Amino acid sequence: MRRPSRDPGRALFRPLRAAALTLGLATGLVVDLALRPGESLAEERMQDEADASPPTSAPTSDAGELDDLMGGFEDDFDATALGSPAPDGSTLPGPEWISKLPFGDWIRRNVDLSGSIASGAVVSYLDHDAAHGDRPTSPTDPDFPDQLGRSSDFGGLTRLDLDGFLQLDVKLPRDWLLRAEALGWYDFAYRIKGRGDYGGPVLDVYEWQADAGEVYLGGPIHDRVDLTIGRKIVNWGRSDTFRIVDVVNPLDNKEPGLVDIEDLRRPRTMAKLDASSGPWTAEALAVLETRFDRNPPPGSDFYPNLSRFAQAPGLIVTFPTDDESNFSRKPGFAGRFEGNFSGWDFGLFGAWVDETSRVLDVEPATGARLEGNRYGMVGAAGNVTRGAWLAKFELAWLTDVRMLRPRAVGPLPFWSDDKQRLDSMLGLEWYGPDSLTVALEIVNRQWLDLPKSRVLLEFFEQSTFETGLRISRPFFRERLDVTLLGVVFGERAQDGGLVRASGEWELTDSWKVEGGWLAFIGGPDKGIGNWDDNDRVYLELKYSF
């Protein structure tokens, strides 16, 4: 439940004005680019390449055959393309037995099924425990009479899972594509260590999961415009480690720090228009689904320390969560307009969407509860390259971001408030010899209208800093990729940090093994310092097809 504003008209207009400018610009450009006469983007690029090439005489048949042979090396070789010849003399991908099925040749020509099967293990080498997920919220909680003070062991083996991923692509007429993804896993560690030692919320999130990935239908509706409808991932921004303008998709945060952002995004159902003309691209989104981050539940060793909310010994603090459907809230809207040029690019972004995480709302009438919150964002991002160097930036102004403020009097110690925040990122990358890459990113998040209060500053800092350093390099003819990542919080690293070293070895075209080490360093208990004992090593074997 949102706290009513003193000026409802102004409160409604401010975030709408913030996001509508960029969204309107992107939508207008989609229409303008669609109606502008001319060749398609692909034709323009081909024409530009033709104009830039010196005139040559018409090739002979032998030269044409040689060009065809050499042109085949431009694409990655696919062993599945070796199959039976089609009636026109070409070769169909996939096994020959499919051709014996009804529409078999069409299936082999237009349907592609790929995926992976993996098994991984995670070991936390420091003994530690966490409050049992079924601990009572009060000493007299009737639902859990015998759980007071109980803990769950998270030392040793913490994950031993088998997971799978499937992706189905169906080519449709007029260059349309239907894509459907499915993923799931089962973790045997809880059976091995004893399911009863872990709370229900932990088992619900970590033990097993079956989910849908991207599921969408997309294709051109004009020479310059594409339409996509369905569950989709939209990758905005320039940072590899932090999120500034990347506000559309939620993340899978159940194991913080173990995986990069690019592999954590969860798709949302949306309708998306994309338009292109030369170096310009525009994108307009209507986000139809309110899907939230998958965060560590109560009872996990990554569940945050809530002692500042008067957590009593032997109890666990949880909050009621709204039970709204993912499609019960009003649609959100977002837009992007970018230009890509030789040596540099620049983009404008706007969004009026739900925060990817539920926020804590406190009202005297209803108490405290976790619910969705709609907020606005207007931002910009860009890259500039000079030789072996790349400089990048992101800037986002956020409005109606939910926060909690302590109160001196009243039935509840806190009340909800919506404030504005300015997030910025500056980054520098260097590309050295042997494909060595070094990337440094510095992020500042600044509350713009935070009232001065010593009590409030114990819960929220007006300005925070995050710094990330990433070093990566391939070895053994690019079959082994090694990455070192360090992230610190605070301008002097006073709020802790993490270090991750990982390597991925490509055994064959289908098999690879990945392993690494993750460690958390220092910081206050109310933040990342609560994870001091969560250091772990991990190993995964993966087969892709």
> Tell me, what CATH number does 354's domain have?
2.40.160.10
pLDDT tens per residue, range 162-198: 999 999 999 999 999 999 999 999 999 999 999 999 9
**437 closest CA partner among 500, 368, 371, 484:** 484
pLDDT tens per residue, range 306-352: 665 555 555 677 778 888 888 989 999 999 999 999 999 999 999 99
What range defines the domain where residue 152 resides?
A: 8-36+81-544
pLDDT of amino acid 455: 56
pLDDT of amino acid 511: 98
pLDDT tens per residue, range 462-490: 899 999 999 999 999 999 999 999 999 99
pLDDT tens per residue, range 34-43: 444 433 333 3
CA distance 128 to 307: 18
pLDDT of amino acid 410: 52
Distance (Å) of CA 362 to CA 176, 376, 417: 47, 21, 9
pLDDT tens per residue, range 94-105: 888 888 888 889
- Provide the number of structural domains found in the chain: 1
**277 closest CA partner among 52, 45, 25, 51:** 45
**Average pLDDT for 238-244:** 95
Is residue 467 in a domain?
A: yes
Is residue 68 in a domain?
A: no
170 CB contacts (<8 Å, ≥6 apart)? 110, 111, 112, 177, 178, 179
CA distance 259 to 264: 7
Is residue 199 in a domain?
A: yes
Q: How confident is the model at residue 230 (pLDDT cuts 50, 70, 90)?
A: very high
Is residue 60 in a domain?
A: no
Query: For residue 205, what is the DSSP state?
Result: I
pLDDT of amino acid 86: 54
pLDDT tens per residue, range 390-438: 999 999 999 999 877 655 555 555 667 788 999 999 999 999 999 999 9
Is residue 312 in a domain?
A: yes
**Average pLDDT for 509-531:** 91
Is residue 366 in a domain?
A: yes
pTM of the model: 0.79
Is residue 360 in a domain?
A: yes
425 CB contacts (<8 Å, ≥6 apart)? 238, 239, 242, 244, 392, 393, 394, 395, 441, 442, 443, 444
**Average pLDDT for 270-279:** 97
pLDDT of amino acid 325: 86
Distance (Å) of CA 179 to CA 203, 217, 218, 269: 30, 7, 8, 13
Is residue 54 in a domain?
A: no
**Average pLDDT for 497-506:** 98
